[in-house]
Structure 1
Amino acid sequence: MSALPKVLVVDDQPVNVQLLKRALEKEKIGVITALNGHDALTLVDREHPDVILLDVMMPEMDGIEVCQRLQADPVSKTIPVIFITARSSKEGKLAGLGVGAVDYITKPIDLDETVARVQTHLRFVQINREMLDLQRRLQESRRTASVGAITQGIAHNLNNLLSVVLGYLELIRLNADTPDAVRENADHLDTAVQRIVVIIRQLTSLVVKSRVPTTPRPLDELIANSVRRLQNDLRKSQPAVISVINPLVQQTISTHVEVFEDSLVKLLLNAYESYGENLDGPREIVLRTSIQPAVQQDTGPLLQILIEDKGRGINPEIRDHVFEPFTSSKNTVGVGMGLTVARHSLRNMGGDVELMDNPSGGTIAVFTHPVDRPVRRGVFQESSKSTPPFA
């Protein structure tokens, strides 16, 4: 708001305009005036008043039409309009409030009451602007905190991985005369480098935005491909026993295949890793599908996939931050962005990811995705397959 709040007074009677102008200016309120509806609309566009005092009964364009035109403009519809009218009936007041007015003053005008009402609505305007400013500052703070968390996580993980790379390079140099040792250390080196590549690609997926092409694909094919990708990634680890309960065998989903499958693989991998590193036997994961009704009128039905495990559950220490970058309960370096990327990707497709406790122990990941063309268009990332855990 400017140094002085600004009120537009609109009345076809000059004497009323002058009385209101003097009363408001006495209270250090800036006043601009118009004697008809057309001039009032011109002043609104040029001066952007904080509150409008608007006479209802005017020739050519009455106050009702002026208010309707103000409400039709996204810029002016938020300006509080106080009607001034000789009508005191309930029906007349309701008619004015129905077109967007926020208050009513009846003639003959009580100047003290009018000034008090104007001051009240000016306070509302100020409070609303302060709330919007506070909301903007809060969003900026959250954005800054998120950038800080990502930056700190990047530095920590990349520094650790670069230390690993340098360590294996030193081992290769020291064992240059032992081919088997060189090959083994080279394999470890390659794994560490692949971890660095994964981090860079995941970061790219969070910042590079472009329109995502979508095509209808069979749901059972998308799930089968995701399960196969996970099993291929785990070929040197303990097997995952995945039970797929999919009654939607004929269902097609309009999606981007890589985004869908990569997000689902990340959630399956999260379920697999929830069992910890010391479990010798198979790790059981149950995948269930269903169609959920639209949550909003302008959206269609949603595919819901539940990924259930009976692992260690959600660590209470990271429960509130589990979707933040580089949040992980594992000690392995180079991890902690899978859930962040999965949620980001699905939200840009009009879906989401949530985690909740499994009543029988463990965790349930809730994967949602529009059945038809995604509501939002978002990022497309060339994501790599998950690499085996580095030890």
Structure 2
Amino acid sequence: MTEKHYILAVDDAPDNLFLVQLALEKEGHDVVLVDNGPTALAQIEKDPPDLILLDVMMPEMDGYEVTRRIRTHPQLPYIPILLITAHEHPSLVQGLDVGADEFIRKPVKIEELQARVRSLLRLKQSIEQRESFVHCLTHDLRTPLVAADRMLDLLRNETFGPVTPKMDEAMTTIMSSNQHLLRLLNNLLEAYSYEVGRKIISFIRFNIRELIEEVVRELRPLAEEKVLNLSINWQADREDMIGDRLELKRVFTNLIGNGIKFTDHGGVTVWVHSSSSVPNHVVVEIADTGIGIPPADQQRIFEPFRQGKHKRSGHGLGLYLCRQIVATHNGAIAIQSVIGQGTTFQIELPLRPH
């Protein structure tokens, strides 16, 4: 038997609603009928359904607008939307562009409707399973890792007895591995939050020069350990901007840290200047004299889980997150690199994103 689901059908024509109700109740689903867009939105916010069937042509608010509002609502979970339309291809494109998942043409055939509903419900189940899996990875695994780190720290401090140099070395290695795994889990959670549109960004006024200087100060010991020069060349007209300071710090830390990681001689320079082409935009260029990135890798370097071929490459989430964070600030990120000469990442950000 088909699993029972709660489905919301929205159409201003009673005959169409009756047909949908008949077809879906035959499949064992609970069907709620609504005859206009505003009432549908109120019902969805009050009690989100498992699936929405939505007529395109309705008075007051059409199906495209209802779809757009559902997809831009920050508190709603993912709900499959099946558009019911009598229009041709251009209108279907419009519906899919605003966030609909599938469409069906009038006059509706019962068997086709039932099949499309089953397909979309399977899609929803797959997405929910993926969310559960990611939650397990990022939350449930993080807790024992943190607990293990605290216990190792107690052992290193000789809380339970003397520690020999070899024991201390072994515990340091274990803690380093734990920290690496924690960073991977945190990056996975952040990447997933951006992917599904659930990342909360806090736009505040802050000093971008102070932020970059803070990141450089924190990473300088890594550069000094490799005998590399790490410097800032500030030429921007302004220092104040509005954005998410914590997320932008993640961007600069990742890019400057990568520059240090992949550079053996020379150094990393952070050059900050005002945009010459767009008013009220600041440009941050992070240039290293490292190994460089092959042209083929440059084309896909910002894709998730796209690892470089070098042995020092990470898990392919850092640069993807950088691109997502910059995009949420209405900015742009680009790369220029020459093998054996170095790499430059260029980030252009509005001082006050809209």
How far has the Cα of 1:213 moved from its partner?
8.3
Q: Aligned pair 1:10/2:24, yes or no?
A: no
User: What is the RMSD of the two structures over their aligned residues, measured on CA atoms?
Assistant: 5.4
- Contact 2:235 2:271 survives alignment (8 Å): no
Give the length in aligned residue pairs: 242
Deviation at 1:37, TM superposition (A): 1.4
Q: Partner residue of 1:68?
A: 68
Alpha-carbon distance, 1:250 to partner: 4.9
CA contact (8 A) 1:71 1:100 kept: yes
Return the offset for 1:100: 2.0
Match of 2:284 in 1: 301
Q: Name the structure 1 match of 2:145.
A: 146
In structure 1, the residue matched to 2:29 is: 29
- Cα distance change of structure 1 residues 164 and 129 upon mapping to structure 2, 3 Å threshold: closer
**C-alpha spacing 1:151/1:213, structure 2 compared with 1 (3 Å):** farther
2:109 corresponds to which residue? 110
Give how far 1:21 is off. Answer: 1.1
Give 1:150 deviation, angstroms: 0.5
8 Å Cα contact 1:17/1:33 also seen in 2:
yes
Q: Give the CA deviation at 1:80.
A: 1.9
1:197-235 C-alpha deviation (Å, 9 max, x unpaired): xx9xxx9xx9xxxx998765998xx88xx68xx8xxxxx
| Partner SS for 2:141 | helix
Residue 159 of structure 1: CA displacement? 1.7
User: Does 2:289 align with 1:290?
Assistant: no
Deviation of the 1:300 alpha carbon: 5.2
Q: How does 1:127-146 map to 2 (within 5 A)?
A: 127-146=126-145
| Number of the residue aligned with 1:80 | 80
| In 2, Cα distance between equivalents of 1:217 and 1:116 | 54
1:249-304 CA-to-partner distances (Å, cap 9, x unmatched) read: 855899xxxx9xxx9xxx9xxx9xxxxxxxxxxxxx955223489xxxx9953546
Match of 1:301, SS state, is strand
Aligned pair in 2 of structure 1 residues 249, 301: CA closer, same or farther (>3 Å)?
closer
Within a 5 Å distance, the mapping from 1:368-383 to structure 2 comes to none
Q: 1:200-239 maps to which residues of 2 (within 5 A)?
A: 216=210
| 2:55 alignment counterpart | 55
Structure 2: which 5+ residue stretches go unaligned?
Answer: 165-174, 184-203, 240-248, 273-280, 292-310, 315-321, 326-342, 350-354
* Contact preservation (8 Å) 2:80, 2:120: yes
Counterpart mapping for 1:212-291 below 5 A: 216=210, 242=227, 244=229, 250-251=233-234, 288-291=267-270
Q: Give 3-state SS (helix, strand or coil) of 2:158's partner.
A: helix
In 2: Cα distance, 1:117 partner to 1:251 partner: 57
2:11–2:17 contact (8 Å) kept in structure 1: yes
Following superposition, the deviation at residue 34 of structure 1 comes to 0.1
| Other-structure match for 1:119 | 118
Asked if residue 90 in structure 1 is aligned to residue 89 in structure 2, the reply is yes
TM-score by length of 2: 0.51
In structure 2, the CA distance between the partners of 1:108 and 1:139, relative to structure 1 (3 Å rule), is same
Q: CA deviation at 1:11?
A: 1.1
Structure-2 residue corresponding to 1:46: 46
Aligned AA for 1:57?
M
Q: Classify 1:8/1:157 alpha carbon distance in 2 versus 1 (closer, same or farther; 3 Å).
A: same
Distance 2:61 2:268 in 1: 59
Which gives a bigger RCO, structure 1 or 2 (Cα 8 Å, sep 6+)? 1
Give the distance between the partners of 2:111 and 2:129, measured in 1 at CA: 27
CA contact (8 A) 2:6 2:49 kept: yes
Q: How does 1:138-217 map to 2 (within 5 A)?
A: 138-159=137-158, 163=162, 216=210
**CA distance in structure 2 between the aligned counterparts of 1:19 and 1:160, rounded to whole angstroms:** 72
Percent identity between matched residues is 27
Residues 292, 303 of structure 1: 8 Å contact kept: yes
Q: 1:13 to 1:159 in 2, by over 3 A?
A: same
Q: Which residue of the partner structure matches residue 332 of structure 1?
A: none
Rounded Cα–Cα distance in structure 2 between residues aligned with 1:250 and 1:58: 58
Please, what TM-score do these two structures have when normalized by structure 1? 0.47
1:6–1:51 contact (8 Å) kept in structure 2: yes
Q: In 2 relative to 1, CA 92–249 (structure 1 residues): closer, same or farther, beyond 3 Å?
A: closer
8 Å contact 1:218–1:252 — kept in the other structure?
no
Cα distance, 1:143 vs. partner?
Answer: 0.5
Query: Aligned partner of 1:130: which letter?
Result: Q
Shift of 1:64: 2.2
User: How far did 1:138 drift?
Assistant: 0.9
**How many Å apart are 1:20 and its aligned residue?**
1.1
Which amino acid letter does the alignment assign opposite residue 22 of structure 1?
Answer: L
Q: How far apart, CA to CA, are the structure 2 residues paired with 1:249 and 1:8? A: 57
